[in-house]
Amino acid sequence: MANHHIDRINDDIRRVLAEKLRDVKDPRIQQGAMLTVTRTDTTNDLRHCKVYISVLGEVDEKQLVRGLKSVAGYLRRELGHSLDLRYTPELTFQLDSSIAHGAYINRLINDLDIQHDDDDPE
């Protein structure tokens, strides 16, 4: 039962952060790349939350992480206003390359030159 509760909280945090990241005015974050909150992991005591961010496009990852660190307080405050939680978790950001990796694998598969033998019944 408690695991379902944390899963629901993680979904709510992911939804609110994805919405609030669009409003951030920090130029290190708004570099023309598309940011996606892929996953959130909140501890059972609701004190800490690890937020996984995926970036699609060319961006300086070090600057992006610095920008996310600098707006973490603002995002935490907005999270506290949006969700009714006992504690508003401390946010830490982690870059997630799964979407870029998936796009790379998809591009490799599409670039394969596969010859189909129409005479073979299999």
- Taking Cα atoms as reference points, which of 51, 49, 50 lies closest to residue 89? 49
* Topology given in CATH for the domain delimited by 2-111: GMP Synthetase; Chain A, domain 3 (3.30.300)
Sign of the four-CA dihedral 12, 4, 85, 67: negative
Domain ranges of the chain: 2-111
Q: How far apart are alpha carbons 95 and 10 in whole angstroms? A: 17
- Range of lowest pLDDT (33-37, 58-62, 111-115, 116-120): 116-120
Q: What is the pLDDT of residues 22-42, one digit of tens each?
A: 888 888 887 667 888 999 999
Q: What is the pLDDT of residues 82-105, one digit of tens each?
A: 998 889 999 999 998 777 778 888
| Bigger pLDDT: 45 vs 30 | 45
Q: How many residues does the chain have?
A: 122
Q: What number of helices (H) and strands (E) belong to the chain?
A: 4, 3
| pTM of the predicted structure, to 2 decimals | 0.77
Structural contact between residues 94 and 50, judged by C-beta atoms closer than 8 angstroms: yes
